[in-house]
Amino acid sequence: MSKKNDQPISRKKFMQELRRYERGSVTRRHFLGVTGLGVATAVMGAAVPGLLPRKSWAATDIGDRVILATWPNYHDPANFEKFTEMTGAHVQVNVFGSNEEMLAKLQAGGSGWDVFVPTNYTITTYVGEDLIEPLELSKINNFEASAFDPRFSDAGTVNGTVYAVPKNWGTTGYVVNTKHTGGKQLTTWKEFWDITKTDFTGRTMVHDYQLTTIGNALKYFGYSFNSVDPNELADAEKLLIEVKPHLYAINSDYQPPLRNGDAWMSMCWTGDGKQLNTDMPEMQYVLGKEGGEIWSDYYAVPKSAPHRDAGYALIDFLLDPAVNAKEVLAHGYPVADSRTNELLPKELLEDPILYPAQELLDALEFGAAATLTDPNRAELLARFKSA
Amino acid sequence: MLSADTDAVVSFRNVTKRYGDVTAAAHLDLDVTAGEFLSFLGPSGCGKTTSLRMIAGFDQPSEGEVFLEGQRVNGVPAYRRPVNMVFQHYALFPHLNIEENVAYGLKQRAPKPPSKEIEMRVGEMLELVQLSGFNKRRIWEMSGGQQQRVALARALINKPKVLLLDEPLAALDRKLRREMQIELQNLQRNVGITFVLVTHDQEEALSMSDRVCIMREGKIVQIGSPLDLYDRPINRYVADFVGKSNFFDGAIDRIDTTAVNVKLDCGLMIKANTGPDLESFESGDPVCISVRPEQVILARKEEQLPADCGVKIKARVMNRIFLGEHTEYLLRDEKLGEFLVLSPRQNERSERPFDKDEVVLAAWSRDTALVLSSE
Amino acid sequence: MYGSWANRLLLVPATVWLLVMLVLPLLVVIIFSFGERGTAGGYVPAFTLEQYANLSARFTAFKNTLLLAPTGTFLCLLVAYPLAYFLAVKVHPKWKTLLLVMIIVPFWTSILIRTYAWIFILGGQGLPKVLGFLGIEGVRLINTPTAVLIGIVYAYLPLMVFPVYVSLEKLDKRLLEAASDLGSSPIEAFRNVTLPLSIPGVATGCMLVFILLMGEFLIPALLGGGKVFFIGNALVDLFLQSRNWAYGSAVAATLVIIMLVTVSIYMKLVVRNQQ
């Protein structure tokens, strides 16, 4: 049985992968974006809410449903069941692949969402486009601003008005299978790109996502992750085109090929790094010394929310520290809420993947709104992919 | 190894064809002589088409041997045999025009003749079937009769040793069929090619063929000229298939040197001449008497009948059908039951025709009554 | 009078469907293609030819599509024709239905899941590993144009098999006997009779596969590892990632025009050959 990893994929493993896929629980964000199937909808709770008994003890009647647009593998289903039990509202979850896709859907109108989960750098755009409403904080008693690390809650406030409250935060680094580096520890983005062109040729994956793929290529030259400077972008493009033939894939669904050994290294988010490292200790999560991305996700309410009260009730419920702690235990992304952290086990709070060393964190940058909407970066990625 | 008759174009020697458990043809022996027009005649399922397909090479015999011009051709595929076929529904190539259809066989030859020659031969063939000028037409622009001619031209262009025709006229209407029968006969005389035709239509077989091979349940019952088959059928099946006849069942009572006495089931005793085929009969064998309707003579008075009548009975006219030169009567006798009589008009000239319900005298001469095994 | 009135009534659903599902969206795409992108993405009304002027930025995607779509169609035909021929001509009628159903059965599962299965088959632990056991080392399949072509042939096979099968099935077997009778060996009979008479089925199959391949994005994304970029992938990115609706519309409109031109040329050729 020791040779198990060398066997072709087993039937059981295949079914697991397939199920995992069918549940929509692929790696956060991008798989669905890549396939254009971001509309994949998982219905939590009952399919036909009206047929189930309603709890009548809820303080106010918030209706029988609330629709949440979020990322895959980013909640504890048990919490949703509890919410339904308490309020009578069933949580319907729409899973998305990218911030761009969420924005596209809200811009197109008629999304039907009550609550959604934008990332820090998108919020000013939503405000500018008049797509989200200032939050009625009186309806979110569990949001206690002082309990949150301002680094991860600031972006929710635009021009002094709170539009979004923090959910989780994390980093974007890369994961490398150290079995193939001869035990060598990688520490920089320069090494990431250089080894791809040599020892790791055909084994590296980058995101199908302009923000991180271009941002981390910019880091090779020491430029800002968020740069929109044409000369700097031209350097990044040259690097990307040069590296492309050596890539295993441009795909944000990187866990399966990393697990079965086809790929050895990939750009990676905190939670995936943690999951891979837990199952395969040789998988090391690296934050490039030059920097890279740090991000924070938020809850916000679209202007068009059809079940507004239920949306607020859901945010309030999920920010309850006891509920939030359960969420963290389920998905493995850190929170910025000190009240929640008090409830979490010490090992988790000391985990170097979730909570990297301060000097590594200091080098990271939050994505900027201008980076997200920059048409030149979008075109650069298209040229890279079609090269 | 059985050898073939050297004069024969096609020879079957003890040929049997089985499809799984079904025997389509059993122990066939046959020689088709060069230049003759031979028809296989029989109802569907009698093995006539199977026989044709074994000549063409689409089917191979399970047992026995097939010879073409003295050469054993068992196992030789259709495309290597010097025979061609006119298919039942013509099977013309819909994606080719008339000229291309006709030229197909020539173009398949190795070496391929020069295109000038092909053009010339196609022209000849179209002229032969009176379709000159139709070269570029499409199949679906042609009438059934025209398609028939195209099929003939296509099959004849390679000058086959034998032309096989599988129910070639079945799809045509009656009038056109008559015309085509005559044309086919003329064509055969003109080109001098051996024709083997399959049909279920006895009139077609009798009118066109030099010889007819009557088949039943996979076996050859009788081969002979149309006249032979009509006058000297070997059994009731042939007599019934070739022309119309009245049959009266009975058994052999006594065989004299000059005559056979048959006792019919109804009790009547009938005398008939002995024939060469009667040697195998013994007293008590079940037989039938066959009398052709035109051989029955009708009269109002006994003295109008010939002297050597084998049978003289009184019968009632049940029905009368006027057929122009003939009149067909249906008569009924208490004992014999119903039987048909075909009476020529000149016999009736002296008197008026027999009326319905009139009781008349019916008779036939001893020579004309055939004693047949009742198979 | 009554007849024509009833005929018109019968045409209403189809007309409404075409208007709402085809003409209107196409009009929207054409109008958008002359507009501009908003600063945060989306569409700003304008009248400019800027988007069309910029089409060359997707030249590679168009080129890839115009290369891989015909190649994929041809490979599909190469695999489908013998299969259809076998089903229509060689298989005992008793087994036909079963085999036809077996071709359809995979369609009961989502194309997404089936393509995902190919990721495993073509991945390092799949076919290349089997080849490794046979002594052929170092074969890379997944995330290559070859993998995309394999996926395309697999996914589009039934679309090609069925029209070809139908044309071969209705082929009168006596025509082959006639050809044989006139001196054609089985191979010659196939070339002179079967092949030309199955051309309508082949044409239909090729048309179906080619048109759908022009818009294909899923298979290149999944089996090409994002490295094989069709115009369909460019459109997905333009609408869902960079949200450049105006440019996306111009690219989509151009794709429609290319398809119309290709299809009409193709139809002309096929129709002429049928005359």
How many structural domains does chain C have? 1
Interface touch B105/C193, C-beta < 8 Å: no
Tokens of residue C243, six digits: 């949200």
Residue A157's H or E segment, with its range, is: strand A157-158
Which stretch of DSSP H or E encloses residue A30? helix A30-35
pLDDT at A169 over 70: yes
pLDDT digits (tens, 9 = 90+) for A80-93: 999 999 998 999 99
Query: Is B93 close to C174, i.e. CB distance below 8 A?
Result: no
Question: What residues in C contact A35, CB-CB < 8 Å?
Answer: 112, 217-218, 221-222
CB contact under 8 A, C143 and A248: yes
* pLDDT score, position B137: 94
The answer to whether A98 faces chain C, any CB pair under 8 Å, is yes
Task: Spell out which residues of chain C touch residue A373, defining contact as CB-CB under 8 Å.
Answer: 39-41
Collect all residues of chain C within an 8 Å Cβ-Cβ radius of residue B94: 175, 197
Q: Which two tokens stand for residue A264?
A: 């050895």
Is C208 within the bounds of a domain?
Answer: yes
Domain residue limits, chain B: 8-231, 245-375
Write the secondary structure of chain A as one string of H (helix), E (strand) and C (coil). Answer: CCCHHHCCCCHHHHHHHHHHHHCCCCCCCHHHHHHCCCCCEEECCCCCHHHCCCCCCCCCCCCCEEEEEECCCCCCHHHHHHHHHHHCCEEEEEECCCHHHHHHHHHHCCCCCCEECCEHHHHHHHHHCCCECCCCHHHCCCCCHHHECHHHCHHHEECCEECEEEEEEEEEEEEEEHHHCCCCCCCCHHHHHHHHHCCCCCCEEECCCHHHHHHHHHHHCCCCCCCCCHHHHHHHHHHHHHHHHHEEEECCCCHHHHHHCCCCEEEEEHHHHHHHHHHCCCEEEECCCCCEEEEEEEEECECCCCCHHHHHHHHHHHHCHHHHHHHHHHHCCCCCEHHHHCCCCHHHHCCCCCCCCHHHHHHEEECCHHHHHCHHHHHHHHHHHHC
- For chains B and A, tell me whether 3 or more CB atom pairs sit within 8 A of each other: no
Interfacial residues of C (vs A; Cβ cutoff 8 Å): 37, 39-42, 57-58, 60-61, 64, 112-113, 116-117, 119-120, 123-126, 129-130, 140, 142-143, 217-218, 221-222, 225-227, 229, 233-234, 236-244
Reading the block at residue B154, the tokens are: 């296509």
Structure tokens at C57: 């930025």
**Nearest CA-CA partner of C197 in B86, B97, B93:** B93
Looking at the DSSP bridge assignments, the partners of residue B273 are B259
CA dist B355 and B343 (Å) reads 13
Give the fold, CATH level 3, of B8-231.
Rossmann fold (3.40.50)
Would you call C183 and B154 a contact, using CB atoms and an 8 Å cutoff?
A: no
Q: How far is CA A286 from the centre of its chain?
A: 17
> Is residue C13 a part of any domain in this protein?
no
For chain A, give every domain's residue range.
21-169+295-349, 170-294+356-386
Would C53 be classed as within a structural domain?
no
Residue C105 in 3-state DSSP? helix
pLDDT, residue A85, reads: 92
Give the span between the Cα atoms of B115 and A93, in whole angstroms.
75
> Is A98 in Cβ contact with C240 (below 8 Å)?
yes
Using DSSP bridges, classify how beta strands A364-366 and A292-300 pair: parallel, antiparallel or unpaired: parallel
Residue A199 pLDDT > 90:
yes
Band of residue A29 on the pLDDT scale cut at 50, 70, 90: very low
Pick the CATH number of B245-375 from 2.40.50.140, 2.40.50.100, 2.30.30.700, 3.40.50.10420: 2.40.50.100
Strand partners, B287: B250, B373
Alpha helices for B129-267 (secondary structure H): 144-156, 174-191, 202-208, 226-231, 236-241
Write out the H or E segment, with its range, that includes residue B120. Answer: helix B115-128
**Of B83, B94, B80, B156, nearest to B121 (Cα)?**
B156
Query: Is residue C17 included in any domain, yes or no?
Result: no
pLDDT, tens digit (0-9, with 9 covering 90-100), for C188-214: 999 999 999 999 999 999 999 999 999
Would A21-169+295-349 and A170-294+356-386 be classified into the same CATH topology? yes
Of the pLDDT bands very low, low, confident and very high (cuts 50, 70, 90), residue A100 is confident
In order along its 375 residues, chain B shows pLDDT tens digits of: 455 556 799 999 999 999 999 999 999 999 999 999 999 999 998 999 999 999 999 999 999 999 999 999 999 999 999 999 999 999 999 999 999 999 999 999 888 999 999 999 999 999 999 999 999 999 999 998 899 999 999 999 999 999 999 999 888 888 888 888 998 999 998 889 999 999 999 889 999 999 999 999 999 999 999 999 998 888 889 988 888 899 999 888 888 777 788 888 888 888 877 655 656 777 788 888 889 999 898 888 887 787 777 778 889 999 989 888 888 999 999 888 899 999 887 665 556 788 888 899 998 887 788 888 876
The CATH superfamily holding the domain A21-169+295-349 is Periplasmic binding protein-like II (3.40.190.10)
Looking at the complex, report in whole angstroms how far the Cα of residue A86 sits from the nearest Cα belonging to chain C: 37
CB atoms within 10 A of CB B341: 26
Distance CA B38, CA B32 (A): 7
Please, are residues C115 and C155 in contact by the beta-carbon 8 Å criterion? yes
**Which residues of chain A have a CB within 8 Å of the CB of C240?**
33, 36, 38, 97-98, 100-101, 104
**Residues on chain B touching C193 (C-beta within 8 angstroms):** 93, 95
In this complex, do C180 and B78 lie within 8 Å of one another by their Cβ atoms?
A: yes
The stretch A19-23 carries a mean pLDDT of 44
CB atoms closer than 10 angstroms to residue A111: 20
The pLDDT, as a whole number, for residue B278 is 58
* pLDDT score for B253: 86
C-beta separation of A213 from A379 below 8 A: no
Q: Which of C31, C68, C66 is nearest to C48 (CA)?
A: C31
Q: What's the ipTM? A: 0.84
Position B35 scores a pLDDT of 92
SS3 A33: helix
Residue type, B100: E
Please state whether beta strands B359-365 and B297-299 pair in parallel, antiparallel, or not at all (unpaired).
Answer: antiparallel
**CB distance B250 to B263 below 8 Å:** yes
Distance from CA of A272 to the nearest CA of C (A): 19
Domain A170-294+356-386 matching CATH 3.10.450.50: the answer reads no
Q: How many helices (H) and strands (E) does chain B have?
A: 8, 20
Instruction: Classify burial at A47, counting beta carbons within 10 Å of its beta carbon; exposed 0-12, middle 13-18, buried 19 or more.
Output: exposed
Q: Cβ distance B101 to B139 under 8 Å?
A: yes
Region of poorest pLDDT, from A58-62, A179-183, B44-48, B130-134: A58-62
- Comparing CB atoms, the residue among C172, C182, C189 nearest residue B105 is C182
Chosen for mutation from A102, A246, A262 (greatest number of chain C CBs closer than 10 Å) is A262
pLDDT of residue B346: 61
Answer yes or no: are the C-beta atoms of A373 and A124 closer than 8 Å: no
Which of the four pLDDT bands, split at 50, 70 and 90, describes residue A329? Answer: confident
C114: domain range? 58-274
CATH number, position C65:
1.10.3720.10
